[in-house]
Structure formats: C-alpha cells, structure tokens
Structure 1
Amino acid sequence: MMKQRIRVAAILVKEGKVLLVKHVHPKTKYQWWVPPGGGLESTDASIYECVIREAWEETGYQIKVEDILYIREFKDDEQDVLNLELFMRGHVVGGYLTVENIYGKGEDDKYIKEAQWLSQKELIALNVFPEIIKENIFWEEIKKDSVKMRYLGRSN
C-alpha cells in the first residue's frame, strides 16, 4: 500500500529572484530545484512550524510565513509515497544563506547541494518544481502581490 506524506515548502522572493534548493540524486545524478521545504514531522506543531524549520535547515534563513499559494500532489515511485505539497508565501527575517544546517538531519544531506536566489531567466534551463515557478503568470502575480491560491494537479 502506498504511503502518504505531507510536504510544505516556502516560496521566498526578493529583488526579482526566487530562493530554490538544488537536489542531486546520489545514484542517478538527476538534478532538480525546489523551494525549501520538507515533510511534516510528528514533532512539528503545525505546517507553519514545519516550513519554518525546513527553510532554516535547507537555507540558513529564519522566515515568516503567510498563506498557502499552491497545492500539488506527486507520486514518488522510488519511495512508493504519494506526496501532498503545500507551497506557502514567506519572507526572510534573519539568518544567512547556507546548506550546512541540513547535515546530520537524515537522507536530505545526500541530495541537497546548494541553495540559490535565481531569476526567471536563470530557471529556463533547470528542472524546477513546481513548474509554475518558471512561468510568466507566477512572476507577474508575485510582482503585483496578487497570487491566487490554486491546485496545480498531480504528477508522477
């Protein structure tokens, strides 16, 4: 039976760039970039606490989070897990950019290689999830501060 997992991530944008975390599969070397985030743990008091913790572990930043921007589902066939992802708007309130906080926290330290602020133009050649981050609608809505919460569907 397929397991289920709740994953939360922070959409952090400043000066026309979005903060993304680079993952590299240790065996296949497949690379992808995602907003900082991870799985809800039993010790997290809420999804908000989870995304704050995950952002700090993966980027070194303390953040403040607001509302949910996107909901997405994806199947991880390798782990036999159905993930429900919640992407939340956030803002950096302290800290400095580093991935050092992830080391010793489990499997993630084998995948996470760097965190970087990237412009829309820099995203063109990269594998980015959710894909909407590469699209004009995302950048237009962010600029106008008019992102509407939406369901992005399920992908495999």
Structure 2
Amino acid sequence: MKQRVRAVLITPKNTMLAMRRIRPGIPDYWVLPGGGVEADDESLEAALLREVWEEIAGRAEITGLLYTVESNGEQQFVYLARIMEWNFDERSGPEFSRDDRGEYWLEEIQLSAEGLDAIDLKPEVIAVELRKALNDGRLAASVSIES
C-alpha cells in the first residue's frame, strides 16, 4: 500500500500553512504540505520532515499524529507540527519544476472553523478531523507555542 505523509504546520501566529493549488479548469483547492514516503526514508516522520523541507524550506517539530486516512490503496498519515521559520522561495521539490502540475502558493490559514470554512481543503476528511480537533481541544494542546 502506498504511503503518504501530511503536516498540519502551526505557525507562531496560530495559523496553519497550506498549499493553494491552482490548475486550469479546476476550482482552486488547498492541500497540506507533504507527499509520498520514499524507500530510503527511515520513518514516516523522517519522510514528513524531508517533504516539509522540499516544499517550503522549513524545519518542523512534529508533535503527534492527528489522523490516518485510508482510501484507494493509499494511506495518508496526517501529523501535527510546529513551524517557526520557512522560505517558500527556497523550495526544492520536484513537483515545482513540472509545468503540468499547475501553480502552488503557500498561504497562512487561520486555525479556526471559519478559516477552514474559507478554503476547500483536500481530502475533505482531513478538514473534518481538523474541525473535530479544534472542537475537542486536541489541536491547541498539541501545538501550543510558547511566546
């Protein structure tokens, strides 16, 4: 079964970093940073840290696993993480050099029900789990950032 990792990257401003995908003929949608686990990744967490570096040139601190999504022969592991610094201009992932992939824009999304309602986060099940974590306090407890 193919494995993928994604990160709910919480910033010091209590926002979440998400990739806005712009593709011709398709309404814009957002995805969490992440990607496929490679054979030489030592662990799921190592794959996630590699993907965060490739996609946003950021260093994340993983705080826990939020949710696992299984569908169509694929598992996606969605982690919670803190991130203090990133530089989208320094991204290096292979998807950014392909013209057929459309555009990618990194955006800060307010980490609230209203913020989630304002975007079309894919897959939808991740948005549902994020709303649950906001409502039951799991999200705040996992990623509080000391000032």
Same fold, TM-score > 0.5, yes or no: yes
In 1, distance between residues paired with 2:83 and 2:3?
A: 23
Cα deviation for residue 111 of structure 1 reads: 4.1
Deviation by residue 1:13-61 (Cα, 9 ceiling, x = unmatched): 23231111122345x4243212111010112111111100111122221
Deviations 1:60-82 (A, max 9, x none): 2111223211111233xxxxxx2
| CA-atom RMSD in angstroms | 2.8
TM-score, normalization: structure 2?
Answer: 0.74
Q: Could you say if the C-alpha distance between residues 132 and 6 of structure 1 is closer, same or farther in structure 2, counting changes exceeding 3 Å? A: same
| Larger deviation, residues 53-62 vs 126-135 | 126-135
Question: For 1:56, what is the secondary structure of its paired residue?
Answer: helix
Q: Which has the higher strand share?
A: 1
Q: Structure 2 residue aligned with 1:132, among 128, 134, 137? A: 128
Runs of 4+ in structure 1 deviating by more than 3 angstroms, as ranges, are: 97-100, 103-109
Gaps of 5+ in 1: 76-81, 147-156
Identity of aligned residues (%): 20
Residue ranges of structure 2 left out of the alignment (5+ in a row): none
- The secondary structure found in structure 2 opposite 1:61 is coil
1:86 aligns with 2:81: no
- 2:26 maps to a residue whose letter is K
Does the aligned pair in 1 maintain the 2:20–2:106 contact within 8 Å?
Answer: yes
1:78-136 superposed Cα distances (whole Å, 9 cap, x missing partner) = xxxx221101121225432447423566769824511111013233232113122662x
Change (3 A) 1:112 1:69: farther
What TM-score does the superposition give when structure 1 sets the normalisation length? 0.70
What is the match of residue 101 of structure 1?
Answer: 92
Aligned residue number for residue 52 of structure 2: 55
CA 1:67/1:122 → structure 2, altered by over 3 Å: closer, same or farther? closer
- Write the distance in 2 (CA, Å) between the matches of 1:98 and 1:138: 31
Residue equivalent to 1:23: 21
